[in-house]
């Protein structure tokens, strides 16, 4: 339960930080009390409200899940919850429809203020006619004494039903998407769909049960390996484009991949190999030489951990200042991101310099807020590291930088401030 609470908290903070949460204030006339949370469950396939569905409200703080409440939708698909428990700072609603769990975007909550949300559910299908993996980008990097592999995937569902795959795991959960893992895979880190809905490892494959709902979905899986000499990539859905990025100096041999030149990303030169218009049932294979023996790269692949850490910090800022932010969205922008690597560079929140000398009550309050934000940033980094979404080196670097800003802020204040 503790792990689930932490996971849900990270999901909410990430959702808010990347600008995908959608919430609105409910008219007071609709709320049984000033702080009630109301909403509607809508079948996105038929555009009809869904009656008699149990909805669960998850009441959250920045640290944990305070509790849950349940309600059943009425004939119009509407549900209502009384004002949540004191201390609630965010919320999410979930419901199971046609055997599949759906969740609303995470949203902040202000005590005493009504809020409303819409939870979309869908009829399901196992037909792949409307579903495609539009972009599969695979990065191979040197990391310490080994290597790191990052898969960034983007799917498109052009239909009006949720795709739930054609296979099931031994526990009965659907296998909707899957990613092959190289031998010795450790330290898995997730983003997007794979962070929202945890999956499991079956043999040498990571499988995930999250349905592919109409529209675009994306996910990232990153892990470390001692070395990588072979890649075997089974194609389970029609795939528009597959791209492999490896450092210059690595020899790649493949009959399915074609050389597409070189790119430079963060000061590192990569060779690019591509394949297009792959069919379900195809397999792409490649042999690699020199990933580890070629020497260590000066840049360590920590993009997933950094994005999640930034998102967590961003979420805290949203909650503390009660305003919404929209930092640059991650994911693929064909040219700008060199084929798909997430390019969020949202830095941890930096405290602005406080006013010197004669401070007013307002400036003191501002400085207090800056202290609190940095303290929360450190707490968020601690959580990200404990959760496993931020590796040790990045965690230590970001935490040290935050502590240094806190120290500088203290030094600028006349007489200093007590430790917190």
Multiple choice CATH, 131-289, 1.20.272, 2.60.40, 1.25.40, 1.20.950: 2.60.40
Residue 348 has a pLDDT of: 30
Residue 320 has a pLDDT of: 31
What percentage of the chain has pLDDT greater than the value 90? 52
Mean pLDDT confidence for 334-340? 32
DSSP symbols for 309-374:
HHHHHHHHHHHHHT----PPP-S--TTTTTTT------PPPPPPPPP-SS--HHHHHHHHHHHHHH
CA–CA distance, 158 with 160 (Å, rounded to integer):
7
Mean pLDDT confidence for 190-194? 89
pLDDT band at 318 (very low <50, low <70, confident <90, very high): very low
pLDDT per residue as tens digits for the range 75-120: 999 999 999 999 999 999 999 999 899 988 888 999 999 999 999 9
* Domain residue ranges in the chain: 2-121, 131-289, 303-412
pLDDT per residue as tens digits for the range 138-159: 999 998 889 999 999 999 999 9
With contact defined as beta carbons under 8 Å apart, do 384 and 390 qualify? yes
β-strand partners of 78: 40
Query: Which of 122, 116, 98 lies closest to 40 in space, CA to CA?
Result: 116
pLDDT per residue as tens digits for the range 204-247: 999 999 999 999 999 999 999 999 999 999 999 999 999 999 99
Multiple choice CATH, 2-121, 3.40.50.2300, 3.50.50.60, 3.40.50.20, 2.60.40.10: 2.60.40.10
pLDDT per residue as tens digits for the range 280-307: 999 999 999 999 864 444 333 344 444 4
CA–CA distance, 298 with 291 (Å, rounded to integer):
14
β-strand partners of 120: 42
């Amino acid at each position: 339960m503790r792990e689930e609470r932490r996971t849900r908290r990270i999901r909410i903070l990430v959702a808010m930080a990347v600008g995908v949460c959608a919430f609105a204030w409910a008219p007071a006339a609709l709320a049984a009390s000033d702080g009630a949370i109301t909403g509607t469950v809508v079948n996105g396939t038929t555009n009809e409200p869904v009656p008699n569905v149990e909805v669960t409200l998850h009441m959250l703080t920045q640290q944990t899940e305070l509790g849950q409440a349940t309600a059943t939708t009425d004939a119009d698909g509407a549900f209502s919850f009384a004002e949540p428990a004191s201390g609630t700072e965010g919320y999410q609603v979930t419901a199971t429809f046609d055997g599949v769990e759906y969740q609303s975007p995470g949203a902040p909550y202000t005590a005493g203020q009504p809020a409303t949300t819409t939870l979309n559910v869908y009829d399901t299908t196992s037909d792949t006619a409307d579903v495609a993996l539009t972009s599969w980008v695979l990065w191979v990097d040197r990391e310490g004494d080994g290597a790191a592999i990052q898969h960034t995937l983007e799917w498109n569902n052009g239909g009006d039903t949720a795709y739930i795959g054609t296979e099931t795991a031994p526990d009965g959960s659907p296998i909707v998407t899957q990613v092959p893992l190289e031998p010795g895979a450790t330290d898995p880190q997730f983003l997007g769909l794979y962070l929202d809905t945890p999956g499991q490892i079956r043999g040498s494959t990571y499988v995930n049960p999250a349905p592919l709902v109409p529209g675009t979905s994306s996910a990232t899986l990153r892990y470390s390996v001692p070395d990588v000499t072979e890649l075997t990539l089974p194609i389970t859905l029609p795939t528009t484009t597959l791209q492999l990025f490896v450092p210059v100096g690595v020899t790649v041999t493949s009959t399915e991949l074609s050389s597409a030149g070189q790119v430079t990303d963060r000061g590192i030169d990569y060779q690019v190999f591509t394949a297009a218009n792959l069919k379900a049932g195809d397999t792409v294979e490649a042999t690699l030489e020199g990933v580890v023996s070629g020497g260590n790269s000066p840049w360590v692949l920590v993009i997933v951990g950094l994005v999640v850490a930034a998102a967590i910090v961003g979420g805290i800022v949203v909650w503390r200042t009660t305003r919404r932010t929209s930092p640059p969205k991650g994911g693929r922008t064909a040219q700008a991101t060199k084929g798909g690597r997430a390019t969020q560079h949202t830095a941890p929140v930096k405290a602005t310099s406080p006013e010197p000398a004669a401070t007013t009550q307002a400036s003191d309050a501002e400085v207090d807020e800056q202290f609190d934000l940095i303290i929360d940033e450190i707490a968020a980094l601690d959580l990200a590291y404990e959760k496993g979404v931020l590796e040790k080196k990045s965690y230590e670097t970001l935490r040290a930088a935050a502590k240094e800003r806190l120290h500088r802020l203290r030094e600028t204040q006349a007489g200093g401030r007590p430790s917190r």
